[in-house]
Amino acid sequence: MPSEMSPERWAQVRKIVDEALERDSREWSKFLSWACAGDEPLRKEVESLLAERSRTGILDQTRATERSTISRSLEPGDVLAGRFQIVRRLGRGGMGDVYEGEDLNLGGRVALKTIRPDIASNAQATARFKREVQTAKQVTHPNVCRIYDLHITPGNPASGEPGMMFLTMEMLQGENLADRLSRGRMSTQEAGPLVMQMAAALDAAHEVGIVHRDFKPANVMLTPTGKGNGIRVVVTDFGLARSMEDTAGNVTMVGHIVGTPAYMSPEQLTLGTLTPATDIFALGIVMYEMVAGRRPFPEAAYVRPQAPPPRQFVPDLDPQWESAILRCLKQNSEERFQTAADLIAALSSPAVQGGGVWEEESPPTRQTVPPVAAVMPTAPVTAVVPAVPTVQITPIAPPKPRKTGMWLAAGVAACLLLAAIVWIFLFRSHQPTAPESHPSPAPGPARAGSLGEVRTNSKDGLPYVWIPAGTFRMGCSPGDATCAADEKPVHEVSISQGFWMGQTEVTAGAYQRYTRATGTGGGDLPAVSVTWQEAAGYCEWAGLRLPTEAEWEFAARGGNVRSRYGALDAIAWDGDNSGNAPQPVAKKKPNGYGLYDMLGNVWEWTADFYGSGYYQASPGADPKGPDGGAGHVLRGGAWDMRADGVRVSARSQGAPESRASDVGFRCMGELP
C-alpha cells in the first residue's frame, strides 16, 4: 500500500482492480469509467496497478509497505494451528489466498482460505467477521459449500510476523459452471437439475437472512458424485466478506461495486436495497446463459434494459422455461419470484416437466428468518481439490397429472379431519390439570426394558434409556408459528417396536474408544465434526444403529406434544447460553423419557435421507425416509443456533461426507 494512501482508499483500489481482472482487458476502459465515477486519482491508481500486472503477470508482488494488506505466503509442509498441513496453493483473491491442506487430526483434505492481515488485525472487523461466519454456518445444505471453522494463529513479535486468520472449508472436485459454459450452451434436460439445486442453495441462504450478492457461474461448482452422470451443485462464497467491506466503509463509497457487474440486478447497479430477489435476478441471468449460450445484457452494459426473449436465440426453447427466466429478470424486484422456492415450484410444474426439468429432492430446511443481511462474496477463487465420496443426486421422475376433483374432495376431507383434531386438542387443553401421560407402551422385542429404565452398553460404555413403542403426531407442534414447510403436514406415526436410545449424545471419550478399537481416524477425534458415515460406523461397532427421523422425534418429544419438552434454557444449549461452544452432555434437564440434550448442544445425524415433501406421503407405521437423496436428516438444533430454531420438529440436513463443529449423533437399538 502506498504510504500516502489510507487503508480505506487502498481497499477500494484493490476491489476495483480485482473486479477488472475478471473482465476482458478490452473492456477495462469502459468498466473503469463507470467504476471510478469521475474520480481521476482513483482511476490512475487502478490503471497503474493493472499496467504493473500486465508487465509482471503478478499483481501481488508488492513492496514491503503493503504487507499489512497482503496475506503472508505459505509453503507446502507449513502447519497452521498445529493441525492443518499445507499441500499447495490453489489461488489468490481479494480476501487472501486459498490452499489445499491436510487435517492432521481428523485426516482428509480441507480447503483453507486465509484472511488478509488488515482485516484480521482490526478488532471490530474481526468481531463482525466472526458473526458473519457464524451466520453462514447456519446454511446447512448439500448444495452450499460448507464452512467448518474460523481459526486464529498468534503472530511472532520478535520477527514482526503477524498472526493469521483463516477459514477451513469443504473441498470440492470438478469444474465450475463458467468452465462448463465456455464449451457451449446446455439443453434444458442438462440444465434443469442444476438450476433446481442452485435455487435450493439460494433459498437455504435466504431462509437464514443471507443474500449472496455475487451469484454467478464462477461461484457454482459442479462436482461429480462418482455414480453414473450424477452432478452435485455446490454454491460457494456465502457470507464471508460483508463484515470486511462494511468495516472498511466501502459500501457507501462513490463508485463502489458490490458483486460482478455482468450479473448485477438493477438495484445493485444503483446502490439500492438488496433482497432475495437480487439473487433471483442473478440466477435468471445464469439460467439465460445456460440455455441460450449468451447473457441477456451486453458485456459493458451498466443499465438493465428489458431482457430480449431467449427464444429469439433458441427458437425451440420451452415457453415455460422462457417465462420463468424472464420473470426472474423483471426490472421491478417485486415482480420477480420473491423466493427461490417459488422458482423451484414453477419449474416443478407438470408443464415444465415436459421441458426437461426434474423435481429436486433437496429444498432448503432453515426454520428462522432474521432480517436479511446483505453479503459481499469474496474474490472469485474456487478450490478444486480431491473430494470425499458423496451421494448421487438422481432426478425424480415427473409427477403424474393431478386430478382436480379428487384433490378437492381430499382437501375437504382434510379440512374436516383438521377441524376434528383442533376440537380434540382444544377440549383436552381445557380439562382439569391431569398430568400429561406418555404413549401407551406396546409389546417390544425380547430384550425389552421398562419405561425409564437405564442400561449401560458394554461395548461403548454409554447409558441407554428404554423407549416404549407407541403412536404420536409427527411434525409441527400445536401452536408453533415458526414451523417451516418441510415440517408439515402433521401426521400420525406409529413406532411398532420399543428400543434403547442413547441417554446422551456420543461423547468424545466413547468415540476415542471406538477409534482405538477399529483403527479409524485419530485417537483424539471428537464426537463432533463426524460425518454421517463415521456416525453410522460407530453405531454399528456398538451393536446399534442411527435412529430413523421418526424414532428420533418420538424419543425427543418424551410423551410431550409441544415444540419443546420444557423451558428452553433449562433443557438445551443454544446460541444464547452456550458461550459459543458445545457443552458437556447431561448438564441440562432431561425429557420425559430421561433423555438429555435432545434439543440443542449439537445437531444429531439420523438414518434417513432428507426429502422436503416426504411428510406428504410418509407411511403411518415405522417410516424410514425417502429411498435416496443428497443429504441425511439432522435433528435437534445446536449450540450456535438461534433459540427459535431449537424445536423437536425442526429439520435440517447435511451431505453424508460433511463435518461440522455443531454436528454429533447418538445411537439406538437393542441391548444384550
Contact 288, 295 (CB under 8 A): yes
What residue numbers bound the domain in which 419 lies? 402-434
Residue 383 resides in a domain:
no
- Compute CA 540 distance to the chain's CA centroid, rounded to the nearest angstrom: 28
Bridge pairing between strands 463-467 and 454-456: antiparallel
Peptide bond into 443 cis (omega under 30): no
| Domain end marker among 21, 39, 66 | 66
The whole-angstrom separation of Cα 497 and Cα 353 is 41
The one-letter amino acid at 401:
P
For Cα atoms 31, 36, 41, give the angle at the middle one, nearest 5 degrees.
125
Residue 88 resides in a domain:
no
Helix H segments across 227-275? Answer: 242-248, 266-269
Q: Are residues 426 and 311 in the same domain?
A: no
The whole-angstrom separation of Cα 601 and Cα 661 is 10
Q: Are residues 617 and 475 in the same domain?
A: yes
Bridge pairing between strands 175-176 and 220-224: antiparallel
The whole-angstrom separation of Cα 355 and Cα 353 is 5
Residue 26 burial class via C-beta count within 10 angstroms: exposed 0-12, middle 13-18, buried 19 and up: exposed
The residue whose grid cell reads 463482525 is 128
- For each successive 10 residues of the chain (672 residues), what is the average pLDDT? 62 78 71 81 82 44 38 83 90 76 88 80 70 72 86 74 82 89 92 93 86 90 80 80 35 44 84 88 96 83 78 92 94 92 78 38 32 31 29 29 35 43 36 33 53 88 92 88 85 92 92 81 60 93 96 93 90 89 90 93 95 90 92 92 87 88 92 83
For Cα atoms 247, 252, 256, give the angle at the middle one, nearest 5 degrees.
100
Residue 416 burial class via C-beta count within 10 angstroms: exposed 0-12, middle 13-18, buried 19 and up: exposed
Q: Are residues 508 and 640 in the same domain?
A: yes
Residue 154 resides in a domain:
no
Q: Are residues 417 and 335 in the same domain?
A: no
Element (H, E) at 519: none
The whole-angstrom separation of Cα 197 and Cα 393 is 9
What's the confidence (pLDDT) of residue 135?
Answer: 67
Q: Are residues 228 and 253 in the same domain?
A: yes
Residue 524 burial class via C-beta count within 10 angstroms: exposed 0-12, middle 13-18, buried 19 and up: exposed
258 phi, psi to nearest 5 deg: -115, 95
The whole-angstrom separation of Cα 265 and Cα 259 is 10
Residue 230 resides in a domain:
yes
Q: With the CA atoms of 120, 121, 127 and 129 taken in that order, what torsion angle do they form, in degrees rounded to the nearest 10?
A: -20
Residue 85 resides in a domain:
no
First to last CA, the chain: 69
Sheet containing 463-467: order of strands: 454-456, 463-467, 499-502, 668-669
C-alpha pair distances (Å), 244 with each of 220, 268, 349, 507: 22, 18, 41, 37
For Cα atoms 16, 163, 660, give the angle at the middle one, nearest 5 degrees.
85
Residue 153 resides in a domain:
no
Residue 608 resides in a domain:
yes
| Domain end marker among 51, 66, 81 | 66
Q: Hey, what's the cell of 279?
A: 439473487
Task: List 545's β-bridge partners, or say none.
Answer: 668
Residue 87 resides in a domain:
no
The long-range contacts involving 484-487, CB below 8 angstroms and separated by at least 24 positions, are: 484/207, 484/365, 484/366, 484/367, 484/650, 484/651, 485/341, 485/612, 486/363, 486/365, 486/612, 486/613, 486/615, 486/651, 487/367, 487/615, 487/649, 487/650, 487/651
Q: Are residues 472 and 368 in the same domain?
A: no
Q: Are residues 614 and 498 in the same domain?
A: yes
Give pTM, 2 decimals. Answer: 0.50
Q: Are residues 233 and 368 in the same domain?
A: yes
Q: Which of 23, 558, 448, 12 lies closest to 252 in space, CA to CA?
A: 12
654 Cβ contact partners less than 8 Å away, ≥ 6 residues apart: 140, 142, 146, 532, 603, 605, 631, 632, 634, 660, 663
What's the confidence (pLDDT) of residue 180?
Answer: 93
The one-letter amino acid at 145:
C
Q: Tell me, what CATH number does 190's domain have?
A: 1.10.510.10
Q: Tell me, what CATH number does 467's domain have?
A: 3.90.1580.10
What's the confidence (pLDDT) of residue 205?
Answer: 87
Q: Are residues 352 and 268 in the same domain?
A: yes
Angle 340-347/188-207 helices, nearest 10 degrees? 150
Q: Are residues 569 and 659 in the same domain?
A: yes
Q: Hey, what's the cell of 317?
A: 426453447
Q: Are residues 524 and 558 in the same domain?
A: yes
Instruction: Say whether 352 sits in a helix, a strand or coil.
Output: helix
Q: Are residues 409 and 311 in the same domain?
A: no
Domain count, the chain: 4
What's the confidence (pLDDT) of residue 257?
Answer: 46
Contact 566, 589 (CB under 8 A): yes
User: What is the chain's length?
Assistant: 672
Instruction: Say whether 289 sits in a helix, a strand or coil.
Output: helix
